[in-house]
Structures are given as C-alpha cells and as structure tokens.
Amino acid sequence: MILYDANAPGPNPVTVRLFVMERGGLSLDVVTIDLANLANRAKEYRTTVNARGEVPALRLDDGRVITEITAICGYLDQVARDGRSLFGGTPEERAEIQMWVRRVDLGICQPFVTWWRGTEAAEGFYRSNRVLFPEAMRNNRILAETGLNQLDDDLEGREFIAGDRITMADILLYGFMGAMIGLIPWLNPPGRQNVAAWFARMSAREASKQMMSPLPGRFEN
C-alpha cells in the first residue's frame, strides 16, 4: 500500500497520521505531497492519484485508490495485522463509534474548518482552488460552538468520546482540532471544562506529539 501524505499540517492528513500511529499493526509506503505549494491540485496528482485534488489518499496493492479520511482509516483498521480496532469490535460498538464520528464531523469539524476557509489566510492559501464562503463565517462559528457545547455535556464522566478508550471519534476530532487550534482562537476555551480536559488527555499521547510531521517514506508499527 502507498499512503499519499502531505508536507503541511492540514486536518485531513493529520487525522490519518494520528490514526496510523494509534492503530498499530500497519506497514505502508509513504509518498509526501507538497501541499504547501498545492502540488495536490496539479494535473499530475489529479490524473494519477485523486481527481478531486485532495490529500491524503491510499493506493491499494491492486492499484485502486481510496480517498476520504474515514474510508482510508476504516480500510486500514480492517487490514491491520494486530492491535485493537479503533472502529469497534462488535456490531454494537461499531454502530456507536460511527454515530460519534458522524456527530463530531458534521456538528463540529466541518463547521470550524469552513469558518477558517472564510478567512483571508485561507483565500491566500487556496489561490482559487476551492470555493470559499466568508459570508457564512458567523453561522459556521455558531454551529461549531453549539456542537462543542453539546460535546462538553456528553463528555461528563468519560475519558474519551465513545467511552473509556480511544476510538476513531477521538482521532477525527483531535486531528482536526490539533491541526487548526493555532488558527482558530475560539476553538478550545477553558470554560468547556470537559472538552478542555479531553483535549489535554489527547495531547499527552505520544502519537499526538508526532502527528504534525509527515510520516517517513516507509512506516511500520
């Protein structure tokens, strides 16, 4: 397998890196794409890897390419040689974890990333390679903060989002928050005590300390 990673700490590549390091039992070749200079939007990448120009992507041994971070992580979760699944070991666990993945993605991650994409910094970065919505920034902040407020209640008495151990829901939210927190000043105020404590627990994990750097050309764990 070949994982197309990025040389910049965007939330999507960061999330897959964090998953790979937390999951264990994986062997991957890694190609680093120059996201900082939008090599992912160049014709070569779009015609040979991902027509949508997005990173990361995963090329399987039979040549097929899987995109979208939850699909990539879901596949890797199933083919890992050993370790513990981050998507759940029973139908009930898998359903509950997928529920939380969808909640944090739609209710928190997508709104705050879309908020940032309305900023002048995002306009300069994308250079017209993505349609941005600066007029929707206020609504996206409200949506994200509403989701975070609800999560603060949901985390009462819990170590992690779906219970007492780390799952894909934690990987997704922390990957996005960790990649964007320096760009979004309102993202993790101390007033949301349960979210802040969860964020601190995630930050202390060894994989979290390494997730902002590209993976090596050959990764095994």
Tell me the CATH architecture of domain 91-208: Up-down Bundle (1.20)
List every span in the chain annotated with CATH 1.20.1050.10.
91-208
H-helix segments, the chain: 11-23, 43-48, 69-79, 91-104, 110-116, 120-126, 137-154, 168-180, 193-203, 206-210
The reported pLDDT for the residue numbered 124 is 84
The reported pLDDT for the residue numbered 131 is 79
Mean pLDDT of the chain: 95
List every span in the chain annotated with CATH 3.40.30.10.
2-84+210-220
Whether the pLDDT of residue 130 is over 80: the answer is no
What tens digit of pLDDT does each residue of 19-75 get?
999 999 999 999 999 988 899 999 999 999 999 999 999 999 999 999 999 999 999
Q: Is-above-0.85 flag for pTM?
A: yes
What CATH number does domain 2-84+210-220 carry, 2.40.50.100, 3.40.50.2300, 3.40.30.10, 3.40.718.10?
3.40.30.10
φ/ψ bin of 5: left (φ > 0), alpha (ψ from -120 to 50), beta (otherwise): beta
